[in-house]
Chain A
C-alpha cells in the first residue's frame, strides 16, 4: 500500500541550522491497516506525513503508493489518493462556504467543472451521511461552516474525506484541538468510518491511551527514526506505562 524506502529529510542542509527531520526511514503499510503513531515533538511524525503528501521534499529515498513511485509527484496530484485531516479544524474546511458546499467540494468534482456543485440528489445524500455523525448537522446544510463549533467542523472535514474515499487517510492529531468529549466522539466516528469504508489510515496522536485503544498497529518515532513497530498482537499487551519511556524530556 504505502511504502517508504530509505526516506531522509534534512532541513537547511549545509548550514549551521542543519536539522535531520527524517533519518533513513523505511516502512511498509499494508492495505486496510489503521496505524497509530506516537512520538515526542520534533520526532519527525509530521515530516513523515508531509513526505507522504508531497508537502515536504525528500532529500533522499523514495515513496511508493500502491506500488507506484510517487516521489516526484506534486502535492495536488497525490491528493487524489491521499486525504489529510489537521489538528486545527479551520484548516480542513472553507469557512465562508456552506456545509453542503464544502461537502460538494470533496464529492461532486468528478461530475466535471461546469456542472452545478450541489444538486437535489446530493442534498439527500449529504443529509443521509451527516446523520451518521449524529450531531444534527443534517439540518444545517446551508450554514456557512465558519459558524459551526470546532468539533462540528472537524466532523464535516472527516466526512469530506470519506465521501470520496482516499486510498490513504492521514490524521494529524485531528482531535487535539477539541474538548475531551468532542475529541472522544470524533475519534469513535473516525474509527467507525475507517472500518466501514475499509480505508487505510495513519493517525498521529499524543494521547497514549487512544494510541493503544484504536488502530491495529503502532509506530513510535524518535529523532527522525521509527524506533518501535508494534503489531496488533503486541499492541494489545501494551500499557500506557510501557510507552512513556519512549519520550525523552
Chain B
C-alpha cells in the first residue's frame, strides 16, 4: 500500500517539478530522494550535502529536488524526466535507483550521475557509500565508558553488509575498552516501521541494555525511547540530539558536502570520472560529533587518538586478530581485512549475542 501512496505523491510532485529551460551558464542539478527531506536521517543528510553545492556555486547551479519516491518504475520515470528537463548532473539517493540510473547514464554520456549505496559504475556514473563502521567504532568506545550493565542494544533494519559491518565496528570499539561488553541486536526487517523500532528499543531496555544504537532508522523512534528510558542513544546520518537532550551520546554523521562539491566541480571542469566512492573519516564524509557531556575528557582524548590513527591509516577498524561469534579466528594478527570483505560482510564478531539472520 505504501507503494500506492508514494505513487500518488509522486504524481503530484512530478507535475510540480519545475521544468526550467537550461541556460548555457546554469548547471541544472536533479536530485531524487527515497524519503521526505524532512526526515531526520538519510534524505536529510543528502539534501544538506547538495545545499553545500548550492552555497558554493550560488546562481551558477539550480537544484531540482523530487523527494519521497519509492524505488521502482515511478522512480525510473521521474529520473528520465529529469534528464529530459535539462538536468545535467543527477544525484540518485537510493540503492534501488541503481539499474535504471545506470541505463540512463549510458544513454546520456554527457551527463554525470552520482548514486547512493550502489556498486555498479560507468564512465559517468559513480556509486558512493559511507564507511559508517569507522564512526561506529568510536561510538562503541564512548558507549563502553557510559554503560553500567555492560549490555548494549542495536535496533537494525535489514541484515545487509553495510549494517552488519557497522554493528561489528561498534562492538569492536566497545570491547576495545571493556572486553566484557556484549551487544544485543534486533532486526526489524523493515526500513520503515517506527512503532516496531520503538517496541524493539523497549525490549532491549527491558533486557538490560543501557546504550542504544539506532541503526539506519530515519525517524527519531529509537532515540526518543532512549531519552524516556534513561539509556544513552546514538544514530547515523543526521543529529537527533533535540529528541534526546540529556541522553544523546553523539551522532555518526554523514557529511556528503565535500564529495558532492568535488563531484560537481569535476563535472563543471569536464573531468568527471565514474568510480566507486567508498568514503570515510579520511574524506571528511563520516563525521562523529555532538558528543555527550557525560563522556570524560580522558575518553574523549582516547577517541581522538584512535580517530587520528584511522584517518592517517595507521590503524583500521578491521585489523586482526578478529574472532567471530563462534570463537574462531577469522583474521589473523597483523592482517587487515580487505575492502571487498567488508563490503560483503556476513558474519558477526565475538561479543554480539544475537545470531545473524541468514
Q: Do A and B come from one complex?
A: no
- Which B residues contact A (CB, under 8 angstroms)? none
